[in-house]
Amino acid sequence: MSSSDSDHDRDHDRDRDLTSRSAAGLAAAVRSGEVSAREVVDAHLARIEALDGSVHAFLHVTADGARARADALDAQRRSDGPESLPPLAGVPVAVKDVLCTRGVPTTCGSRILEGWLPPYDATVVARLEASGAIAVGKANMDEFAMGSSTENSAFGPTHNPWDLGRVPGGSSGGSAAAVAAGFAPLALGTDTGGSIRQPAALCGVVGVKPTYGRVSRYGVVAFASSLDQVGPFARTVEDAALLLEAVWGHDPADSTSIPTPCEPILPGLERGVAGLRVGVVRELTEVDGIQPEVSAALEQAVKLLEQAGATLDSVSVPSAIYGLPAYYLIAPAEASSNLARFDGIRYGLRVVPGEPGSANAAAMNGATRHAGFGAEVKRRIMLGTYALSAGYYDAYYGQAQRVRTLIIRDFDRAYEHFDVLLSPTTPTTAFPLGDKVDDPLAMYLSDVCTIPTNLAGAAAMSIPAGLDGSGLPIGVQVLAPGLGEAVMFRVARALELGFGFAARARPGGPA
């Protein structure tokens, strides 16, 4: 073997080591001087370049900006010392393409915004930079976050790193796949009806939907404003807590932001679950089509928590069974309002039909939206517009909001007796690409276990719980009351230790 071959092998081994470390481990290594932030970024960019052609987790890779940011952090360490570095200094992060990034393309996975460069950063993106984390790219997603498989992206689907022939989940599939494939130890996504937790389960990573209002929505391109919430992806529970604590907190720019201080998560992460009361949600464990291995993983979770000292019992949230139909009236109704801004006039795509000077504004609006929006977005706009129309508002949208109130009350009653709740994250593991694209209802059922929490505005997260017989990841969901993230993370950490999955998990696709 030549010396150049030996050097190449050492570099490859070093890159593999760096891309397999946790965010906490990388931050500590950069702070101690074991590695530079530039070395960390270069290792992850090299992996993206080598493997993302088959995964397609990213729509845009910000290689130059990431390297410049890493060099600045390394210079800061040299001049001001390691204690000057922020907590996530040098840690690469993938950012879902629904979050505005100043001067960096933000498409929401849609042709109607292709090439748009926001003039400002979303609050969470600004807080990422303040934490020292380094954005390495914009992650692929279902168009305007409408989907459960990332097959609705106008720029092509993302593939699951565990099996490239299967979906990664959605709508934050690119973010989940980026973390699972080792492209970044952390990622940000959004969760409107399960769009963080469902892909986290299918990709074998941790995904968190915080309490509505805990993380700023300023700079998030809206889908359903009363449901959307930003949250983290990570390979470990600790890393997810690190990222959440970096971006959450009150933001005066977001009128729905909760003003009360956030209870820290990390100090109590290792407190265990002894004495906690955990309820297993009956309605979410008995959904149609649940995979036997998913049920078995939930049973194992129950045993692990009992062995760790928690008290487990079954609990009913009766109105949860109506979550899916209520959601698919409320969310499309809000989408039909939010997406009205994409009119071909203010920004993004503009299509002028006919001869120059012959078209009016209405014709231009229609032609732009016809060309720019995909089939699923059009379907939901039509559903939402119909639900809000005169003569149907009370029967559809109004009734759905009343169901939402029942769901909130039922969860509140459950939390009077339990500290957290437990359920599957998804009924099945990852399904083949193309398997459900022609059956919207089957696709929507992928979120049947996650949607109720969004309607309630509470917190929930998905934890990897092992693999099924085909080697595909299974997720278990921990649900908590509003502002209950600290105890939710304690339970998630106990499950992580019990399952022992995070320490050994590597995707079976890209190696």
H/E/C letters for each residue in 319-369?
HHHHHHHHHHHHHHHHHHHHHHHCCCCCCCCCCCCCCCCCCCHHHHHHHHH
Count of residues making up the chain: 511
DSSP state of 82: G
Which strands make up the sheet holding 420-424, listed edge to edge? 58-61, 134-139, 92-96, 186-190, 230-234, 206-209, 459-467, 473-480, 420-424, 277-281, 311-315
Q: Are strands 134-139 and 206-209 parallel, antiparallel or unpaired?
A: unpaired
What stretches of 339-480 show up as alpha helix (H) in DSSP?
361-372, 375-388, 399-415, 440-444, 451-456
The whole-number pLDDT of residue 6 equals 56
Catalytic residue list? 96, 171, 195
Nearest one of 295, 284, 297 to 448, comparing CA atoms: 284
Instruction: Read off the pLDDT of each residue in 441-463 and give the average, rounded to a whole number.
Output: 97
Paired tokens of 246:
């970096």
CA–CA gap between residue 380 and residue 391 (Å, rounded):
19
Paired tokens of 374:
């995909």
304: three-class secondary structure by DSSP: helix
Task: Categorize the per-residue pLDDT at 345 as very low, low, confident or very high, splitting at 50, 70 and 90.
Answer: confident
Asked if residue 468 lies in contact with residue 427, where contact means CB atoms within 8 angstroms, the answer is no
**What pLDDT, in 10s, does the model give residues 156-189?**
999 999 999 999 999 999 999 999 999 999 999 9
Asked if residue 19 lies in contact with residue 43, where contact means CB atoms within 8 angstroms, the answer is yes
**What pLDDT, in 10s, does the model give residues 271-292?**
999 999 999 999 999 999 999 9
Residue type for 265, please? I
Asked if residue 283 lies in contact with residue 427, where contact means CB atoms within 8 angstroms, the answer is no
Q: How many CB atoms lie within 10 A of CB 108?
A: 31
**What pLDDT, in 10s, does the model give residues 216-251?**
999 999 999 999 999 999 999 999 999 999 999 999
189: three-class secondary structure by DSSP: strand
Asked if residue 429 lies in contact with residue 472, where contact means CB atoms within 8 angstroms, the answer is yes
What are the structural domains, with CATH classification, of the chain? Answer: 15-318+410-499 (3.90.1300.10), 323-403 (no CATH)
**What pLDDT, in 10s, does the model give residues 492-506?**
999 999 999 976 656
| Residue 511 in this model has a pLDDT that exceeds 70 | no
**What pLDDT, in 10s, does the model give residues 418-435?**
999 999 999 999 999 999
Cα-Cα end-to-end distance for the chain: 23
Asked if residue 101 lies in contact with residue 135, where contact means CB atoms within 8 angstroms, the answer is yes
